[in-house]
A = this chain, B = another copy of it.
Amino acid sequence: MATDDPRPAGRTDESHPSLLEERIDGESVFQGKLLKVYRDRVRAPDGHEQTFEYTLHPGAAVVIPMLDDGRLVLERQWRYPLNRSFLEFPAGKLNPGEDPLEAVRRELAEETGYRAAEWAKLGEMHPVIAYSTEVIHLFMAKGMVAGESAREKGECLELVVMSPEALFDAIYSGEVTDSKTLSCAVWLDRILRGVWQPVWKTLPL
């Protein structure tokens, strides 16, 4: 089944036209609940024809939640594909059309019970540019207030509160390897040293 181009609009990248890979045609090869897989025929800049397989993703958001005493709230959660648990910052997929900040506030409250008064957008991250359209929006939160979580059925996790130095030790030792958590750590390290300044805004709890 031939399809119209399902990919994001992309970027003009007018300074790099010599790299552009041109879509010839494509088809949907698997439409699952999470994964929507396409296979496209593509012409490379050198004229070589290849196929690319990739999945569409609605995007996600992650947050570095910092308590008033400077410690961080992380989650330990089973990650089925890798058959083990991971230590990671709270995150979740965007609902269709959902604003990333709204999504991450919702996920933080649902998964941890915490609400936060101060929020800063840090940046964006693409976890897997070779085979997914996923983008993850990175946030930091302060002014945290504990409350009741409202996890979905099957969403089982443990909250782990740790200092930034304990987090960096856990990265160094190989205990923390999740890409969104590592990406947040770039920002955390430089924010704590005062090299980068987030722009905070206050929101109603």
Interface residues, chain A, CB within 8 Å of chain B? 7-11, 13, 16, 18-21, 23, 29-30, 32-35, 37, 39-40, 42, 44-46, 48-55, 76-86, 88, 123-135, 153-158, 168, 171-172, 174, 177-180, 182-183, 185-186, 189-190, 196
Contacts and interface: CB of A to CB of B under 8 A. Distances in A.
A179 B134 CA distance: 11
A178 B44 contact: no
A153 B76 CA distance: 43
B44 A154 contact: yes
A185 B186 CA distance: 7
A86 B129 contact: yes
Query: How many subunits of this chain does the assembly comprise?
Result: 2
B35 A131 contact: yes
A133 B56 CA distance: 17
Contact of A179 (B40, B127, B156): B127
Contacts of A156: 18-19, 21, 44-46
A35 B81 CA distance: 14
Contacts of A9: 83
B126 A86 contact: yes
Contacts of A32: 29, 37, 39, 53
